[in-house]
A and B are shown apart, each in its own frame.
Chain A
Amino acid sequence: MATTSPLGIDLDHYKWGFRDPERYVFKARKGLDREIVEEISHMKSEPDWMRAIRLHALEHFLKRPTPKWGANLDQIDFNDIYYYLKPTDGKGRTWDDVPADIKRTFDRLGIPEAEKKFLAGVGAQYESESVYHNLKEEWERLGVIFLDTDSALREHPDIVREYFGTVVPPEDNKLAALNTAVWSGGSFVYVPEGVKVDIPLQAYFRINAEKAGQFERTLIICEPGSYVHYVEGCTAPIYTTDSLHSAVVEIIVKEGARCRYTTIQNWSKNVYNLVTKRAVAYRDATMEWVDGNLGSKVTMKYPSVYMVEPGARAEILSVAFAGAGQHQDPGGKVIHAAPYTQSSVVSKSIAKDGGRAGYRGLVKVYPGARGSRCAVRCDALILDERSRSDTYPYMEIDEQDVSITHEATVSKVSDEQLFYLMSRGIKEDEAMNMIVRGFIEPIVKELPLEYAVELNRLIALEMEGSVG
């Protein structure tokens, strides 16, 4: 009998006989093929339907060409990557192997010792247990589920099965297909109807459960009338020798619910950060993305919100900082597919030392989405003549009863501004710093306090030596 998964994938098509588990030994090797994917699924003892989705996604990944737009991805060799390492693998690295600039940044940001080691990928455990424990009890009392996605698949297979891949289908794009085929880790959040979670959920809290991985898969479900603020990543640099980070985040915000998702990404500067983030917002629901990009070699990330029922709202705040050798290509997409939906996008990008930062976005208004409103504002600051800023906003308006605006400016730090501050006794580099901080202020003020403080420190650090 043919069985199909929730995504309409023919499970039989991917059936295979399990090999004798006794003789089965997983050997980490580079490259990606059907065997690796089957091994990943087997190692995790996953249900058949998940294995089928993985294999389906793999087929799609292999078929699909590497995107030719945006940043240059030609240097990624998909065959030169370990797609799965057992949690015990890769721990052979020592503190001494961690580059000095990363250590220095840890110190400057004031990261505790244990945390430093974890972030650098050399510590096995990060002791947040005591804080985490109390919060966990509170959440459990409310019925909130907050797990890593692997555990969620074991403990709540029905919920995962119902929503997995429905917002970002495996066929969506090449990198999403890759993630779907080999995903590991990530967060699973389920907020029951009417529950409002006061304290932001941070990936930090359960960071000891499973390492924040290369191919994270995050799924957040907000039942009607609920609220949650999820915080991914941290301002501290995450040091990894892996050259590719390809995550998928799927969020379902049901009627009247509100979800805020905050990321401050600071991958080490060898990483290609190619992430698919998407949310669906139902009637009167609100989805907010706060997205900061400081690290990585290349980032292509366009958090999107599909507003599919009347009254849905979307807000995207994006900040990007590109220094030497970096290409930040972030942005956002807002899709108005129902009447009276509202969205706002604010992007701030800064480029210096030959870096390239920008905004790439889409505003799409479908026919019938009457009364929709959208405002996009992009500001760019270029700190020297070798750096570059790009703005690529796409607006596709299929409905007459709408109001859509887009504004963008590109400017430099003006001599007048600098002169004014310096005439008040502020040194040039500090003055420059203040101006840049003022520039990104509208986004920083949306961050939880400790993140705002760290982000400001980090910007100050990145700005060092920018005045010659």
Chain B
Amino acid sequence: MGQHLTATAAPLAFSRSAVQRRSEALGEPAWALQRRLKAWEAFERLPAPSVTHPEEWRRTDISGLELGMLTLPADGPVESPPAFFGPVAREGAERGGLLTFLDGRPVVDGGRLGEEAARAGVLFTDLASAVRAEPDLVRDHLFSLAPPDEHRFRALHAALYSGGTFLYVPRGVEVALPLVTQAWLGTPAGAVFPHTLVVADEGSAVTLVELFGSYPEGPRALASGVVELFLRDGAQVRYMLVQEWGAPVWEVGSLIRARLGRDASLRSLVAALGGGLVKLDVESHLEGPGASSEMLGLYFGADRQHIDVHTLQEHRAPHTTSDLLYRGAVKDAARSVFAGLIRVHHGAQKTNAFQANRNLILSEGARADSIPKLEIMANDLRCTHGSATSRLDEEHIFYLMSRGLTRQQATFMIVEGFFADLFDRTPIPRLRGYLQARVAEKMI
């Protein structure tokens, strides 16, 4: 085949038998194993993406990723209660439920769902338990939004996924308090494939916050996650993902994809702060009339970080609305790539689609690419996109310094101002301070 890129020969940690072992260790039914094996075949068959092909991978060079150097963490629950996350996950924070994972393994007593929600029939558990306990519900949805043969890393994920959230909200049920998942990667050179599956039934409402983090330095690790969000007619979901991987982690081929039914509403915020390299797709597929999706994004690259986010606003039905705002800052030798596409299909009349990307370049040597694309096949619509890239304005800094601030304070203030409208629109207002603090840390 002549594929000389990463891992043509499957390395020891990744093999057909490893797939079988994982399925067995998780106590999965036969259909789940069959799907994993089929995905494994796809992984072996599909070419590795590279900077020459396909287009979506042209700006992110993953040739430095050696799958052979990675290890697959063991399976099954772990006892040790980890204490790695900040105020959001800490005891006492207002939340309706908590799940905790270490290297994709659910932590025993790592959290629970509030009684009220549990009584209403809400399911909030680790995915492996759901595969065993709710086979039909999971079977119908799992990977139906994210087909394993989309590309090589999607296939690898589908063969080896473990850990991650399963959330089901029954028809008409509204979960008042946010549900929180926290996942930590602690195994040096570990490879994790978290999978989140959310099914919000008709007229339901729920908020989910997911936090990802890892050890701060050490050998290269891999994360490749998939989030599938099903919003049935009239469902209202707020979804927030904060990624604070340490520098060793490369997040490659991750996907957050939502399918929205009639009058469903999604408000999402994705904050990509960590990771040495990040290659992430965020997509909303508006399939029912009246559906609306707010897509907010924040990325901040420092040192030699490389953050590549592709977004898609796919309008397949009339009277749908999407509103995307991604703001990114880069400093030091960091590079960011934003590539957003609005696609309005034939017949999706009366669509409103907006897309804005703003980039702030903080140092010489930092780089930001912006590719806001439109493919419009309907005529009765309103569609705009805008992109702007600029640097710190010396006049603004001078103004603030003339008011007695140090240069650093002035810079802080301007960067915070740059992200302010995102903070203001955070789906979970209580998390605003948390994000502000993370951004401030990046400034140092």
Q: Which residues of A contact B (CB under 8 A)?
A: 69, 358, 367, 380, 382-412
Contacts and interface: CB of A to CB of B under 8 A. Distances in A.
Contact of B383 (A387, A392, A409): A409
Given A385-B346, A395-B387, A411-B383, A406 B370 contact: yes
A386 B369 CA distance: 32
Q: Is the interface of A mostly helix, strand, loop or mixed?
A: strand
Contact of A395 (B362, B364, B371, B384): B371
B387 A410 contact: no
B133 interface: no
Given A385-B349, A390-B376, A397 B370 contact: yes
A299 to B, nearest CB: 18
Contact of B391 (A367, A402, A405): A402
- Chain B interface category by residue count: 35 or more
A395 B369 contact: yes
Given A406-B372, A408-B372, A387 B379 contact: yes
B382 interface: yes
Contact of B387 (A69, A405, A409): A405
Contacts of A384: 379
14 contacts: A367-B364, A389-B376, A392-B373, A393-B371, A395-B370, A397-B359, A400-B364, A401-B391, A405-B388, A406-B386, A406-B388, A408-B386, A410-B374, A411-B382
Interface string B376-394: 1111111111111111000
A332 to B, nearest CB: 15
Contacts of A395: 369-371, 387, 389
B315 to A, nearest CB: 12
A329 B25 CA distance: 54
B365 to A, nearest CB: 7
Contacts of A410: 374, 376, 381-384
Contact of B380 (A358, A385, A393, A399): A385
B390 A404 contact: yes
Contacts of B362: 400
B369 A382 contact: no
A385 B370 contact: no
B390 A402 contact: yes
Interface of B: 55, 346-347, 349, 359, 361-391
B21 to A, nearest CB: 41
Determine which residue in B365, B366, B370, B374 has the highest number of CB atoms from chain A within 10 A of its CB, and name it: B374
Contacts of A380: 374, 376
B165 to A, nearest CB: 36
A397 B371 contact: no
A391 B377 contact: no
Given A382-B376, A395-B389, A404-B387, 8 more contacts: A367-B364, A385-B378, A391-B374, A393-B373, A393-B387, A403-B390, A404-B370, A408-B372
Nearest to A386: B346
Contacts of B374: 358, 380, 389-392, 408, 410
A364 B384 CA distance: 22
A408 B385 contact: yes
Contacts of A409: 383-384
Contact of A69 (B55, B370, B382): B55
A289 B111 CA distance: 63
B368 A397 contact: yes
A405 B358 CA distance: 9
Given A391-B373, A393-B373, A395-B369, A412 B380 contact: yes
A388 B372 CA distance: 17
Given A385-B347, A385-B349, A397-B361, A411 B373 contact: no
Contacts of A391: 372-374, 385
Contacts of A405: 386-389
B167 to A, nearest CB: 36
B358 to A, nearest CB: 10
A388 B377 contact: yes
Nearest to B389: A404
Contacts of A390: 373-376
Contacts of A385: 346-347, 349, 378-380
B403 to A, nearest CB: 24
